[in-house]
Amino acid sequence: MSEEIKQPAEEEINEAEEVVSDTAEEPKAEKKARKKKEKGYTFTREQVEQMELAAKQLESTKDQFVRLTAEYDNYRKRTTKEKDNIYQDAKADTIKAFLAVYDNLERAAAAEGGEDSPHKKGLEMIFAQYKDILKNLGVEEIEAKGKEFDPELHNAVMHIDDESLGENVIAQVFQAGFKMGDKVIRHSIVQVAN
């Protein structure tokens, strides 16, 4: 009895091996059709071709969807960056308008005389407060005096022959320059040594 049970099992294994070796070489569409046929479904060649066409259309639609999603993400990032740049530009333009007040406060605080005057002390305090406000807004003064001339940061309006200074070194600052981050709000107006 045990021999009878073994024989059908061996036959089933041989049949399964034949099916596996047959299916390894057949195309995907035929493989699908054969599997459906084994389950009781039968498809004609036209139906198989239609299914392949539908699968290609589905893949194409999926590709279009992925591309559209990527385009939208890029659009969202670009508009966010543009909004941020617009804000930074508006902020820089506003600060630039107030730099004339800075210049006047600086001149008044640097004026000689009346060192013990409460008006002068008050003016110096206002000027210090003004500097703090600019610093809190991310605005910093461009260092110029004694530095090498940089056309990206400085605007040379005069040249002077001075042996004590090296060539292209800033001798005097007529008007302070400012930058916010990497953006120059106003160039320093300077005198450069030859």
Q: Which residues of 36-61 are buried (b: 16+ CB within 10 A; e: fewer)?
A: eeeeeeebeeeebeeeeeeeeeeeee
Q: Does residue 183 surpass a pLDDT of 80?
A: yes
> Mean per-residue pLDDT for 129-138?
94
* pLDDT tens-digit series, residues 153-164: 999 999 888 778
* pLDDT tens-digit series, residues 21-60: 554 455 676 776 666 666 666 788 898 899 999 999 999 9
| pLDDT tier at 118, thresholds 50, 70, 90 | confident
| pLDDT tier at 13, thresholds 50, 70, 90 | low
Q: 3-state DSSP: the chain helix, strand, coil percent, rounded to 5? A: 60, 15, 20
Residue 81 lies in a domain: no
Instruction: Give the chain's domain count.
Output: 1
Residue 164 lies in a domain: yes
| pLDDT tier at 16, thresholds 50, 70, 90 | low
Predicted local distance difference test score (pLDDT) of residue 101: 93
* pLDDT tens-digit series, residues 57-112: 999 999 999 999 999 999 999 999 999 899 989 999 999 999 999 999 988 888 87
Residue 170 lies in a domain: yes
Q: What is the CATH number of the domain that holds 145?
A: 2.30.22.10
Residue 47 lies in a domain: no
Residue 167 lies in a domain: yes
Domain with 165, as residue range(s), is 141-194
Residue 70 lies in a domain: no
Residue 27 lies in a domain: no
What count of residues does the chain have? 194
Residue 182 lies in a domain: yes
> Using the 8-state DSSP alphabet, how is residue 147 labeled?
S
